[in-house]
Amino acid sequence: MAKQSVKDLQTKDLEGKKVLVRVDFNVPLDGTTITDDARIAAALPTINYLKDNGAKVILVTHMGRPKGEKKPEFSLKPVAKQLSKLLGKDVPLASDCIGEAVASLVAKMGNSDVLLLENLRYYKEETNNDAAFSKNLASIADLYVNDAFGTAHRAHASTEGVTKYLPAYAGMLIEKELDYFGKALNNPKRPLVAIIGGAKVSSKIEVLKNLMTQVDKILIGGGMSYTFYKAMGYNVGKSICEADFIDTAKEIIKLAKEHDVELLLPEDILIADDFSAEANTKIVDFKSIPDGWEGLDIGPKSIKVYISVIKSAGTVIWNGPVGVFEIDQFAKGTFSIAQALADSNAISIIGGGDSAAAIKKAGLVDKIDHISTGGGASLELLEGKTLPGIAALLDK
């Protein structure tokens, strides 16, 4: 269902209004140095839109897992500093996210000012979606905007609770995420191809089942392949294999046949005698994995087949690497898929998490149509679930 966006609000609706904006500034830190500010940059269109229309912008976010304690290593000081730099104007950091000191700072804000409140997760009430905490957060604002897609699958005080007290709109980042995933799942340019990788079938069962009714082809890779091979009766050596999910893998193979979905597994595998960069390796047919060896990447034949499928696709959704790309020796498959997506004419959508990390490591970010900012949230969208932080926003 379409949601009302911040862009539905004009200057007359925003000028002088206090707007509480949930952003996802949970950025990686090395001490107090931000090592990747992509999440901050992703929220700039919404912040600038509100600022340019004369709103008083109050930003709230979490950082790490302080578990309800005020731990200085999880302070948003580095974020306020980087945001000030990116916006070209001073963004003060409040010492708290609720209370009189915050209310006093908000009261002094001028039109187009931006204020960042301290870490929401200094309070356990945030993740508990506590009603009193939600009401307290909402009390300083006239409107609410959610632009934190990465936390939209959580019903927390700042994502769902506050919407009970304020008119709630989608930010531009959330709008973009919903637009890409919505079109891919409901009205895709075909053929629609899903590349599903990662270590475990168990974490992707619902995704695979939901996609069966929508996609034309599914390419399987990563550790989950070996559970499928085992389900087909083949030896997998010491490869990762979820014995409890062999029947599930059989069910997914059956579903693919029933829905006329082409389910492709790697034809050949790069195997190693140890899980390390120094291991001995060789390429084998998927039916010929010897005892004592484990599969850690897809082989050259599989790479060729998968690239060919990507070339002829209209839309590609990729969630999960096809090998242990963190170790160079086992990264060829994942990076070949990343390059094929960058070179293709297909609409390319990356479901956050490790796939996004692989695209970044390959230096291909600018060649992909959409890289999701939420691994968990995008996974739940692909599973067909409703995200509480989005369901709570005003319908169009």
Active site residues: 39, 200, 353, 376
Cis before residue 191, ω within 30 degrees of 0? Answer: yes
Q: Which of 174, 143, 132, 137 is nearest to 158 (CA)?
A: 137
Residues 6 or more apart whose CB falls under 8 angstroms from that of 385 comprise 153, 206
**Residue 127 DSSP SS3:** helix
Helices 38-52 & 77-87 angle (0-180, nearest 10):
60
| Gap between the Cα atoms of 121 and 139, Å rounded | 18
In the three-class reduction of DSSP (H, G, I as helix; E, B as strand; rest coil), residue 355 is classed as helix
- If residue 192 lies in a helix (H) or strand (E), which one and from where to where? strand 192-196
Alpha helices in 139-232 (DSSP H): 172-186, 205-211, 225-231
> What is the distance of C-alpha 56 from the center of its chain?
28
Beta bridge partners of 284: 269
Give Cα separations from 321 to 86, 196, 198, 331 (angstroms): 32, 8, 5, 9
Rounded to whole angstroms, how far apart are CA atoms 192 and 214?
Answer: 8
* Residue partners of 135: CB distance under 8 A and separation at least 6: 165
Handedness of CA 4, 7, 13, 17 (dihedral sign): positive
Q: Dihedral sign, CA of 311, 193, 355, 284?
A: negative
> CA-CA distance, 339 to 312, in Å (whole number)?
15
CB 49 within 8 A of CB 173: no
